[in-house]
Amino acid sequence: MNFVGYYRLPPVRGVYFSPAQEERLLLLGCEEVFSDRCLAGAVLRTGLERALAALVPGGVLAVPSLHALAGSMVDLLDVIQQLKARDLHLVVVQPAIDTRTDPGLFEAWQTLATFNGERAMVRSAEASMVARGLPTTAPEA
């Protein structure tokens, strides 16, 4: 099993890596640590791609926080699905999450992904109803 760390930091002038985050991941036992210097919503995260490529089935991706891993719920669920599809585990320092000890967490996140997709469809349908002037609530009895 291999243990790889990843973190993301904002593109602030003069800041190219985070010694604190890197040290935290190395102390956790990471063999390698990758990072991206980008905004939370960045589409291209080559550091994350390299971290995932360095992992073999059964391996562990460690991150200091969920914010360091993804900038939105959609991004987070996308990464979770990639990890699950490749039989990889996730360790998050804060809040303490370890899918090696609680494998049901992936299923919970899959449920959130489904809900998130359904929520978008419902929002779209409701917006369409409002735009057409249709009632969005049941008539009173």
Locate the domains of the chain by residue range.
3-132
18 vs 10: CA distance, rounded Å: 10
Of 6-10, 34-38, 73-77, 129-133, which range is least confident? 129-133
Alpha-carbon torsion, ordered 55, 56, 58, 61, to 10 deg:
0
Of 15-29, 45-59, 77-91, 126-140, which range is least confident? 126-140
Predicted confidence at residue 34, as pLDDT, reads 96
Predicted confidence at residue 31, as pLDDT, reads 97
pLDDT at residue 17 is higher than 60 = yes
pLDDT at residue 74 is higher than 60 = yes
13 vs 113: CA distance, rounded Å: 35
Confidence band of 140 (pLDDT split at 50, 70, 90): low
> What pTM does this model have?
0.73
Domain 3-132, what fold? Rossmann fold (3.40.50)
Confidence band of 139 (pLDDT split at 50, 70, 90): low
List 32's β-bridge partners, or say none. 4
Between these two residues, 38 and 91, which has the higher pLDDT value?
Answer: 91
- Going through the chain in order, the beta strands assigned E by DSSP cover 3-9, 32-37, 60-65, 89-94, 97-98
Considering the chain, what is the average pLDDT of its residues?
Answer: 82
135 vs 94: CA distance, rounded Å: 44
Q: Once rounded to an integer, what is the mean pLDDT over residues 65-93?
A: 87
pLDDT at residue 120 is higher than 80 = no
